[in-house]
Amino acid sequence: MSRGISADTVFIRDLRVSTVVGIFDWERRIRQTVVLDLDMSADIRRAARSDRIEDTLDYKAVAKRVAQFVSAAQFQLVETLAEEIAGLIIREFRVARVKVTLHKPGAVSGSKSVGVSIERSAPSR
């Protein structure tokens, strides 16, 4: 690992949020639960030294903001929802890289879950 580059990850698993997502008319009239796994690159060395929440990526704040956004969202595709979540995390929490895995339980008969997993990076500054 190069000096100054951190491979640290702050993660959230199994964040469940009710939203409107789907292409069928019946899906547009109901709320469905989506399940999110988030992996966010964050250099946690400063926080490890200071032991202060202000020096790290606050996963509770991220979870609260993402849940708020997803709950209010109304997208047709899980791909669009995942892309918007990734952009929100990068913009609002200044994360350099994020992986969003979005599960839509019960969407396909016989499967536990379907969905998408995307990785996005902040634009170079």
User: What does pLDDT average to in each consecutive run of 10 residues of the chain (125 residues)?
Assistant: 66 97 91 97 94 95 98 96 98 96 91 95 85
pLDDT for res 1: 40
b or e along 77-106 (b: 16 or more beta carbons within 10 Å of the residue's beta carbon)?
ebeebbbebbebbbeebebebbbbbbbbee
Distance CA(19)–CA(67), nearest Å, equals 9
Give residue 37's pLDDT.
Answer: 98
| Separation of alpha carbons 64 and 96, rounded Å | 20
Is 64 marked active-site? no
Domains of the chain: 9-121 (3.30.1130.10)
CB atoms within 10 A of CB 17: 22
φ, ψ of residue 99 in degrees (nearest 5): -115, 125
What pTM value is reported for the model? Answer: 0.91
Q: Active-site residue among 60, 64, 99, 104? A: 104
Q: Would you give the DSSP letter of residue 55?
A: G
**In sequence order, which residues have a C-beta less than 8 Å from that of residue 89 and are 6 or more positions away?**
38, 40, 62, 66, 95, 98, 100
The dihedrals phi and psi of 96, each to the nearest 5 degrees, come to -75, -35
Query: What pLDDT is attached to residue 2?
Result: 42
